[in-house]
Amino acid sequence: MTQTIENAWDVLAADWDRLQSKHLREMFDNNSDRFEQFSSSLDDLTVDFSKERIDADALKHLLDLARAADVEGNRDAMFAGEHINTTEDRAVLHVALRGSPADGYQVDGQAVADLVQPVLNAFLQFADDVRAGKVTNSKGVAFTDVINIGIGGSDLGPVMATRAMSKFVGEGPNVFFVSNVDGAHLRDTTRDLNPETTLFLIASKSFTTQETMINAQAAKEWVENSIGVEAAKAHFAAVSTNLVATNAFGIAPERVFGFWDWVGGRYSLTSSIGLSLAIAIGSENFRAFLDGFRDMDQHFKTAPLEQNLPVLLALIGIWRRNVMGCATVALIPYNQRLENFSSYLQQMDMESNGKRVTKEGADVATKTGPVIWGDAGTNAQHSFFQLIHQGTDIVPIDFMITAQPTSYLVEQHDLLTANFLAQSHALAFGKTGEEVRREMLEAGGDPKAVEALVPHRTFPGNRPSTSILYRSLTPYSLGRLIALYEHKVFVQGVIWGVNSFDQWGVELGKVMANRLAPMLDEGADLSGLNSSTRGLIEKIHTLK
């Protein structure tokens, strides 16, 4: 970490010394233009961070930190196809998946559009053919149901986006998802389906992912037991680069769609990993989805830092995590169709920036990625908002809502919007003991009983939130929203000095599971295990 960055952190610490005793009530009372000063828009998309505990000087110093960390230079290196994933010696160019040939993206001197466009056209054509009933089973019957089998980045994004885009499904087949190696997931999903009209998509780049391949084999047996080995071959397609393995599984080459090592799993939704989404909503809507991504990509690439939405969102996160010391962030979309959005962003953020060493292998100098969690509003209000309003920890929130309803129930959307506005207001401004006392007394409350209740009904407020507002939930706006958070995660990784594009912690768990699996057999030698693991395995054998 350079001295310039150290100085930037020191200035921000001094800002917090100055601001931590100030209440958001005071900040708004003293600045009637706070919304205009601390919000930024891109067309219909607005990010309002006026309810964060910052002022103009703190924002300026956050931007100074971004420049000291060379966010702009690192951003340019990513878009140029440089190998910024240093531990794996790879480029990071998921932006090319939704780019146009005119963008000129290259990796190692090769024009990436020459790779991306043929695969994109092929899997979108396959998706439309499945929807139209042109891709059929061995008897020429159209598929009524499609099941995507994957895990992690091969599941979380498609699950989230397919649910979010349910309004745009039209006349296509039903699309389901199986990820958990727990056999109940596959069994429960297939329970009411007909194997004769079910198509499986096996999503695994290496075609060796343990959980995915176990589920794939079980799905294969389910179909084969019903219609036979040869007929079952028509019921499978794959997203993979391992043609040898997919061929051995029985999947025809023309039904295998690949992607590249410069596309990380958690950033792969706009690759052929999005095939299940494309089958759900069709190629036209999928291309609009890509357009939304590209719009945000171009904004991130070109906008000055002061107006750059991903940069501003990232810096607010830096302020929360490193200056205020908040360990978690709640993501609350006020849209039921975005109920899986926080789960999707958990992987994107926590797998990317959940790191304890820098790119150079040294211990990081600051806290890194926060815990990301959340649920859809208004459900969240009736589960964990009590803690957020009156608990002992400060939990910053990103609120999200559309101006237009996602259903025909307009009055219900008005109530949803009222709750969205009320929660950020209540968190920011709270309710003082004097306000509680006055209201209860004016309502005729007994003074003694009122005094006993005042502490319980007082809300401290001063709890930060950012509100994200856009016109409507469409393929385009969803793509733009996802890209907003992708680039936010990137900026934060640059500032923390970590490699946001590897995941060695995930790999360790896989290795250990492979080592332990044979030890679950009766009579296995457990002598080399620690006492806890050995004791648990022995208990498992007893309980079986």
Q: Any idea what the CATH number is for the domain that residue 201 is in?
A: 3.40.50.10490
- The answer to whether the CB of 84 falls within 8 A of the CB of 92 is yes
351: annotated active-site residue: yes
Same structural domain for residues 339 and 388?
yes
448: annotated active-site residue: no
Catalytic residue among 382, 425, 507, 539: 382
Same structural domain for residues 117 and 262?
yes
Count up the domains in the chain and report the number.
3
Same structural domain for residues 318 and 406?
yes
Is residue 134 domain-resident?
yes
Is residue 84 domain-resident?
no
**Ordered per-residue pLDDT tens for the chain, 544 residues:** 455 899 999 999 999 999 999 999 999 999 999 999 999 999 999 999 999 999 999 999 999 999 999 999 999 999 999 999 999 999 999 999 999 999 999 999 999 999 999 999 999 999 999 999 999 999 999 999 999 999 999 999 999 999 999 999 988 999 999 999 999 999 999 999 999 999 999 999 999 999 999 999 999 999 999 999 999 999 999 999 999 999 999 999 999 999 999 999 999 999 999 999 999 999 999 999 999 999 999 999 999 999 999 999 999 999 999 999 999 999 999 999 999 999 999 999 999 999 999 999 999 999 999 999 999 999 999 999 999 999 999 999 999 999 999 887 778 999 999 999 999 999 999 999 999 999 999 999 999 999 999 999 999 999 999 999 999 999 999 999 999 999 999 999 999 999 999 998 887 877 888 889 899 998 899 999 999 999 999 999 999 8
Same structural domain for residues 31 and 106?
no
Question: What is the full DSSP assignment across 311-362?
Answer: HHHHHHHHIIIIIS---EEEEEES-GGGTTHHHHHHIIIIIHH--SB-TTSS
Backbone angles phi, psi at 244, to 5 degrees: -65, -45
Same structural domain for residues 115 and 260?
yes
Same structural domain for residues 142 and 251?
yes
Is residue 447 domain-resident?
no
* Residue 310: closest CA among 481, 95, 62: 481
- Residue 342: strand pairing partners: none
Same structural domain for residues 158 and 248?
yes
User: Quick count: other Cβ atoms within 10 Å of Cβ 41?
Assistant: 13
The pLDDT of residue 246: 96
Is residue 508 domain-resident?
yes
Same structural domain for residues 325 and 214?
no
Same structural domain for residues 237 and 312?
no
72: annotated active-site residue: no
Catalytic residue among 52, 211, 351, 486: 351
The pTM is what? 0.95
The pLDDT of residue 3: 59
Same structural domain for residues 111 and 247?
yes
Is residue 435 domain-resident?
no
Catalytic residue among 22, 425, 510, 539: 510
Is residue 261 domain-resident?
yes
- Kindly list the distances between the CA atom of residue 233 and the CA atoms of 63, 210, 214, 253, 330, in Å, as whole numbers in the listed order: 56, 21, 17, 12, 44
- The answer to whether the CB of 436 falls within 8 A of the CB of 14 is no
Same structural domain for residues 127 and 242?
yes
Same structural domain for residues 353 and 418?
yes
The pLDDT of residue 409: 78
Is residue 133 domain-resident?
yes
Is residue 203 domain-resident?
yes
Dist. CA 169–CA 182, nearest whole Å:
29
Q: Which domain holds residue 527?
A: 504-543
The pLDDT of residue 506: 80
